[in-house]
Structure 1
Amino acid sequence: MTLAEVVPFPRVPQPDGSAAVLCGLGTWLPPRVVPNAEISRRLDTSDDWIRARTGIRQRHVVEPGMCTSDLAVEAGMRALKSADTDHVDAVVLATTTPDRPCPATAPDVAHRIGLDRVAAFDVNAVCTGFLYGMASGAGLIAAGVAERVLVIGADTFSTITDPDCRATAAIFGDGAGAVVLRAGSPHELGALGPFDLGSDGADADLIMVPAGGSRRRTPASDAERYFTMAGKAVFRKAIFQMAGSAQSVLRKAGLRLRDVDKFVIHQANARILNGVADMLGQPAGKFVRNIEQVGNTAAASVPLAMSSACESGELRAGQQVLLGAFGGGLTWGSTVLRWPAIEIL
């Protein structure tokens, strides 16, 4: 039984007022490409196994000396150019791999882009970070704190995954994606609808880096400084929570599943994408996919998927789009918008 069969869809009228409007989109991937064959030579696996289990063919990874802020700056500048603006009032950076534990990376990113003295802060909701970041940006606009906000999702998971762990080394890639949000009308193309955000800290240990924080400052072993994930449990929860969040945000927006033209959800694993589609009772073709080329890019996943789908023509102006994600924390989130006419850079 799918969620679509058991969850009703009452139409809920939405109030008029100001809205956060997506008006620019930019992305950046590090130049180095790591195909499955390179990982297979190092680990006890094969290209066929990786593709069958994850749907991934290759991923991009940073070279030594390249950090998260480098990717964030490139994506941020491209988003500003796409929006045809050189100024925003705030920068929100979603990342799990900041340049340093302290201070936040966002102020440095803002400075390097040329956005001195603007508000800038980090958000850590792992793979849901970009959705949390967009909600934060929309909140700043709704509160009158900002007219424009640059929201960036950037991660370099290759720096925290164990290169000898088949379960994580084959899945994650590095990248960055950014959007510019501006104050506008809720009736415009690109206007973000309501958000659905949630968390479950009882399952925090399912996705984590065991050591390096105040709870466990020094790793007892090398393994404790690397990212870990309980794959089977995460697989089930990711499908259930992303499908449930999609249903929730559609109810808030007064929409039904049949109203959605495209789903752009976190590219965690091809089987998870299929599972969400099945639980919602939706055809797999309505789900944007770019995981084959970039892998799981954590907080950068959703904007990278939006960009590739827009460039290919899969996303077109006026389409009803649902964005969704699931990540460590555990966290999840979603929102809806009608796709705007924007130039991707």
Structure 2
Amino acid sequence: MKFLIKTQRGMEAVAGNYIKEALEDSKVWISPQGYSGLILVETDDKNAKEKILEIPEVERVIEVLHEVPAKIEDILNVAEDLAKFINEGETFAVKTKRRGKHDFTSVDVNVQLGAKIKELTNAEVDLSFPDKAILVEIIGDKAYISVVGKEEWKKYTPEKTDARKLFKKVSIVQMPYWGDYKACRNFGEKIGRAAQAFEVKELIIAPKEKIDGYELMEFLRGVKIGQESRYQIQREAYPWKIEKVPVYVWDLYQVIRDKRRNKRLLIITDPKGHTLAEVKDELAKDMYYAKEVVVFIGSREGIPRGLFRFADYVVDLAPYMTFATEHGIPGALIALWTIYEEELRRRE
């Protein structure tokens, strides 16, 4: 039996040495052809996979079904055997990872091998959530081919509810941080990054009274820097189009007047409020029906107590604890999403 082992880059030597200890009579090639994060193992031990998976440095163990020259015609020659692993009614996908120089691309392999498997099995192709995945791992002049089932760990699956269902209708009303210019900018960066990370409907910076213009300017500069840094990461990481969160400045008291007048759901986060456990059922239901959910978050000082009576909910997210300013947005939105998801699942 031959296995292709994947590790974090730089951890292949550590994992390889542990594999040598666990499988004494095995042959182990660490970083084959100089490619980090990879290990090849050849062994007669029937329990090899289980033993390898006991090593924390190992991220994935792929049992190699075919080792062929890294040429498309040789890869296609094993299609008939690969087709035996795909049952009637199952979906499949071909996923190729190519390392080295070749006269073909990974897409060429995916298309040609996928077409042949489809012809042999009449199975449907599902590139997002296939029942079976045919892995073609090309390392230099060799191709290692395997068939695996559904991945245990995956970011996007049909079983997971998209959190943006809630966050797209959430407006964050954040009191600005004031004081030392450098601190203003640092806190602004963290708040801008957090608002963009959750892709909320809008971020409203809302001072409760007259504030030093230069301190506010530094805070807003920080918001812009933080938002931009997160936005660039999202553009590269996500398979969908990303928009920048709109950022506004508005007097705190006018925000609550306007949002209340337009019958939005108003939530104030404050240690004086009810615990989430006390109100979660009604709150989740109200968030489900709300056209817009407006979350008020303090900074240095909490939201003025006089506004509590205009809110639909005043919620203490972590009793006997006060969140740091930069933790307000993540703490509030993760807590609200948790109870909102429960409501969605209950309705489904």
Common fold by TM > 0.5: no
For the pair shown, the structure with the greater C-alpha radius of gyration is 2
TM-score (norm 1): 0.25
TM-score (norm 2): 0.25
